Amino acid sequence: MSIKAHVPPQSHSSKEYELHVPVLLDATLELLTPQKGESYLDLTAGYGGHAEAFLEETGNFADSALVDRDEYAIAHLERFAARGVSLLHTDFVSAARELIAQQKKFDIVVVDLGVSSPQLDQATRGFSFTKPGPLDMRMDRSQTTSAETIVNTYTVDALERIIIKYGEEQRGFARRIATGIVENRPFSDTKQLADMIAHLHRGKWQKIHPATRTFQALRIEVNQELAQVEAVLPLLPSLLHQNGRVGVISFHSLEDRLVKQFFKEQAQAGFEAELSLLNKKPLDGATYDVHNPRARSAKLRAAVKK
């Protein structure tokens, strides 16, 4: 695939683009081919990186909608509301169900399952283990369960289970981490937890911090990310016009496995299939977004409504 470089329009503030560099933007534009007048739905709009580019191409603000459950993201998306785009401050499953109930359909749907750079970089959000901050990790700050709740209340067995299942950590190290957490709690600080995990690690490590997988597991558990993905995938066809396109960007194997299986089932459904694949193999960040370090593990899969 030949990917053309997309240059953000000069009329927009550079600060907005510094907030979050959208992953696989050029590949997503190339694969979903936005046309003038088409409607756009972004179920994980974040800070508007993908939306900015797609709406520039379509010019259709009135029939488009942006969704995010993060209050900080919604605040940054207000610039689109001023131009007629609908904003939904909720999780993407609730938004999808609400839009379907309203019989709304779109020409293009984008679902980027990653955590945005500002969430990762703000120590106060609790996603980062490199900076001290509260053990939070909630994408929706109105929910009660945080990473601190999980770390300080789950049993050793429950912690081991999520670290293995969602962090894909080796069983032996996962058990040591879970035991270490219970023996040393309460924890309230991200660096405090990360340092404890690093201390438990046997052997040298260089690029990947020993706490990486555990922090991923906690984030997924806090936000019920995989359950959300499982719930939203079957809803996607109902959100599309005929010949409408959907692109899903995943970042780790657990997410990608769900997306791959859903698209595979569609491809094998014959006459009953609602979607046809636009790419049999995913477009990966390491190949199609080489200058964005946070795109390295990203995979883009796309389909079109029959």
Q: Is residue 121 part of an annotated ligand binding site? A: no
Q: Is residue 92 part of an annotated ligand binding site? A: yes
Q: Is residue 114 part of an annotated ligand binding site? A: no
Q: Is residue 112 part of an annotated ligand binding site? A: yes
Q: Is residue 50 part of an annotated ligand binding site? A: yes
What would the 3-class secondary structure string for 102-164 be?
Answer: CCCCEEEEEEECCCCHHHHHCHHHCCCCCCCCECCCCCCCCCCCCHHHHHHHCCHHHHHHHHH
Annotated binding site for S-adenosyl-L-methionine: 48-50, 68, 92, 112, 119
Annotated binding site: 48-50, 68, 92, 112, 119
